[in-house]
Amino acid sequence: MAGTNNFHRIADALPGKARNLVDAYQGFGLDLAVQLAPVDDGDLRGSGAMAPGDGEFDAKVVFTAEHAAPQEFGTVDMAPQPYLRPAFDDLRPHFKRDTKGLLKP
């Protein structure tokens, strides 16, 4: 009895699909973080951007406003108002689900 499988097709398609998934979630993360960022004059929200990561499947979301880190983490004089961590925490289960979906033929 001969059997067939789709392992080679799945393996061949994974790098492109994985890169597309990372790129999509990078955009989702930026959009959500911008929505969650506190607003005073709009500098923080306007400073968000996507940047390449260090590896083939890495991606970064950065905020370049001078007060980006103090807003996220707080200071001795100000409580944190996180926007990046909550954005990616919200996306994590969806990303895991979609990553598992990459393995389907």
Of the candidates 82, 80, 73, the one whose C-alpha atom is nearest the C-alpha of residue 36 is 82
If you average pLDDT over every residue of the chain, what do you get? 85
Contacts 24+ apart (CB under 8 A), 11-14: 14/102, 14/103
- In three-state secondary structure terms, 100 is helix
Q: What is the pLDDT of residue 5?
A: 52
d(CA 27, CA 25) in angstroms, rounded, equals 5
Domain ranges of the chain: 8-37+44-101
What type of residue is 88?
A: F
- Residue 74 binned pLDDT confidence (cut-offs 50, 70, 90): very high
Q: Which residues, 6 or more positions from 6, have their beta carbon under 8 angstroms from its beta carbon?
A: 105
